Amino acid sequence: MKLVLASTSPRRRDLLARIGVVPDRIVGPHIDESPKKNELPRVYALRLAEEKARAVERGEGEVVLAGDTTIACGRMILPPAETEEIQRDLLKRLSGRRHHALSAVCVIDAAGKARTRLADTIVAFKRLSDAEIEAYVACGEGLGKAGGYAIQGRAEAWVRYLAGSHSGVIGLPLFETRALLASAGILNG
């Protein structure tokens, strides 16, 4: 069987390599990632992971893997930091608070059956000064990222508490991903 990664994220490729998996094909899925009215963050993350997996054409004997990482404060789904202004607002919101990094993964096996899993990681940042936020925005590391930060970079120094999947916060929960790939015949048990 061959594995198709429905993501162009270099972080997801790197995370897969940690468990000895190299995709045979990489395809960027194109879907509308807008939350539905009153959609809860967990439901949203799972829906996006499955929609991304289904958006990629699966050939004979291919297994598709897709993921989504959503940052949530309570019931609020935080947008990706598409601009520096949005990133500043996100970091101010996360400063000194706990939030959830919801990392969903979907695998569609060679027979077409979709399975999903979700890792819910609680992350708490220290209180951030305006100077820390400005320096982080200026470095460019968190631009385009869920929540406006990259935990695998400079923002890791702000984490005073983390409970759950560190790899999930980066972009792909390896425990859940490995289990799904094993059930699809890509990995041995």
- Active-site residues: which are they? 68
pLDDT of res. 43: 97
183 contact partners, CB below 8 Å, separation of at least 6:
107, 109, 115
Q: What is the pLDDT along the chain (189 residues), one digit of tens a residue?
A: 899 999 999 999 999 999 999 999 999 999 999 999 999 999 999 999 999 999 999 999 999 999 999 999 999 999 999 999 999 999 999 999 999 999 999 999 999 999 999 999 999 999 999 999 999 999 999 999 999 999 999 999 999 999 999 999 999 999 999 999 999 999 875
Indicate the class that CATH gives domain 2-183: alpha beta
The CA-atom distances, in angstroms, between 130 and each of 80, 82, 141, 149 are 20, 19, 17, 15
pLDDT of res. 187: 83
pLDDT of res. 189: 56
Distance CA 27, CA 34 (A): 20
3-class state of residue 101 by DSSP: strand
Q: Is the pTM of this model over 0.75?
A: yes
The answer to whether 8 and 55 have CB atoms below 8 angstroms apart is no
Domain ranges of the chain: 2-183
Angle of helix 130-139 versus helix 84-94 axis, rounded to 10: 140
146 contact partners, CB below 8 Å, separation of at least 6:
69, 70, 71, 78, 80, 101
